[in-house]
Each structure stands twice: as structure tokens, then as C-alpha cells.
Structure 1
Amino acid sequence: MVDVGCLMLATMNPELQKQHEDMVAYEMIEHLKELYQGQARQERFDISKALFQCKLAEGSPVGPHVLMMIGYIESLSKLGFPLTQELTTDVILQSLPDSYSQFFLNFNMNEIDKTLPQLLSMLRTAEGNMKKVGPKPILMVYNNKGKGKAKVQTKPKGKGRSKPGKVKAALKPKGGVAKEGNCFHCGVTGHWKWNCPIYLEEVKKAKISGTSTSGTAKE
């Protein structure tokens, strides 16, 4: 116990030596815990918080990110709180973006057991392969329904399009004159007034006799 006490005093700075020179080894250890245990707990809290909140932004390099997380893991181990290899691997993989989803799948299916430096090397290789392939094109679909835009009427193509300077011919009725219906002059069905035989005969006789047919025309 005396040898351990002397060794501990030899490793202390002069200020701590004065505080512990009259103590045995056990008393020195308990006093040092009172002085620095609260500080170590706060340091452990800050490091673990920074470690578990690490997130790699999409497109950022993976190397510096993983190296920073390895530094946090080693700091916790020095404080007396080492993490298992499987847990550290999971923490690092969970901090990566969705673009590494294929890497996660292959890593978990093959049950790869790698150290942290080996995992870092694999992630750098995967990052290089993703840069060579490039991002997949995204199809953008725009929905203009209900925007209030009026539809533009397009001109008809083909025979129905008329050339400039020409007037379209009047559409002729199909099927000729209807056979049913009474003539307005004689009342007989099968013809109209303009081709009525009686009306045409009266017009002819009126021209010969010189009689005005204005009254007949008004009919």
C-alpha cells in the first residue's frame, strides 16, 4: 500500500501532491473520485450524446464522418465505458443516409464482421461506386388540372382545312326534296310552289297577256 501511494504521488502535479501527501492509497483514490468523478460523468454524457446524434448529410463525404465517430467511441472507452464491436458498427451504419441502403442490405445479409477501420474502408469503396453510377433520374409530373388555363383550339388538319383566298362551298342537302308535304299554290303533295305545273302555267299566261304577276309573287 505504501508503494502504491508513493507511485500515485509521483504521478501527480505539485498541487495534488500537497493535498494527498498525508493519505494512504485508498484514501487518495476516494478523494480523487470526489474531485473528478462528476467531471468525468459530464464528459461521458457529452461524448455519448455527440456520438448518437451523428448524422451524415446526403452527398457529404463518408470518411471524415466515420473517423469522427471512431474518435468518440475511443474516448468513451478511455473513460471506462467501452462499446461492443457490434454496437459501434450499428451506430455508425445508422448514421448514414438512405443512399447507403444497398450497402446495409449486403452487409447484414452476409453477416460481415469487420473492425472499425475495415468498415471505414468498405464505406469509402461503396461511396466511390455510387459516384461512378450517379443519381437516378427523377420524372417530374405536373398536374395543371383546375388551374384555370383555357384550352387552345387547334386548326383541323387534312381536307377540311380551307386555303386562303377561297370561299368554302355551301353544303348541299342530302337526299333531295322531301316527297311528303303540300304545295303552297295548289295544295297537291309531291312538289313545291317553284316547280308547281299550275303555277308555272299561270305565270306563262300572265306574261303573254301582260298582266302583272306581282300579287302572285307576293304569295
Structure 2
Amino acid sequence: MDHDLSIDLVLSSLPESYSQFVLNFNMNKIEVTLSGLLNMLTQAENTIAKEKLSVHLVSSKKNKNEKRKFSKKDKDEKASTSKGIKPTRGVKMDKDNDKCHFCGKLGHWRRNCKDYLESIKGKKQKEASTSRTNDKEQ
């Protein structure tokens, strides 16, 4: 059998999942031996297997319409976080040494400081009101 004919027979006998490989092979007019083609097909097979795995992982998401069921632990965490943001994942607050960088009081951080949050809210309102007057002047 002719070399080109044997390569074409191997390529035509491949399943549909190798269509991209066959297209690439024909477009680039690659000259290989049968053993070289076997090595290239083995690499393509590994690539196709990885792509299938990633497609399955992406498509296995939960239905967006499903409601999440909360356990008692989740409800307790929600109740405790409504009082203020608490540190998680190994971040522990030392109430004796950690003090607010805004007001200097012990027992809370700046992100939970009422004075700091009010000052930020005041700055935002001030910026919004001054930007409106600047727009009208122009």
C-alpha cells in the first residue's frame, strides 16, 4: 500500500472526536511516518480526554432555581454576623491589644467602627452634592 494512502485510511477511520486533529493535519500538510502519526494521535487522545473532563466539570453545576438549604450552623453564623463582621479562617482578634485605627478604642476594628462608617457615608453624600453643583455650573 502507498504511504499516503495508509495515512489517509488511518485518518478516515478515526471517530468524530478527532475531527479537529484531522483538519489540522490536512491543513498543515504534515509529512509523518505511521509511527509518527501514532504518537501524534496518542497526544491528541490525551488532549481530547482532558477537554471532555473539563466540559463535564463545567456542566455539572447545580440548578440556579434550587434553593439552598441552610443548616442550624449556617443560621447561627448569619445571626452572629448581623451584629458585625467577625474574623474567620484563623484570623483572631485579640481584644486586649487590637484597637480601632480610626477612633482608637479597644474591642473592634475600623471596618466595624460606627464613627468610621458614618464618616464615610458623610463623605459620599458630600461628594455627590458637590458633583451635582459642578455639573450645573458648566
Give the structure-1-normalised TM-score: 0.24
- Higher radius of gyration, 1 or 2: 1
- TM-score normalised to structure 2 length: 0.38
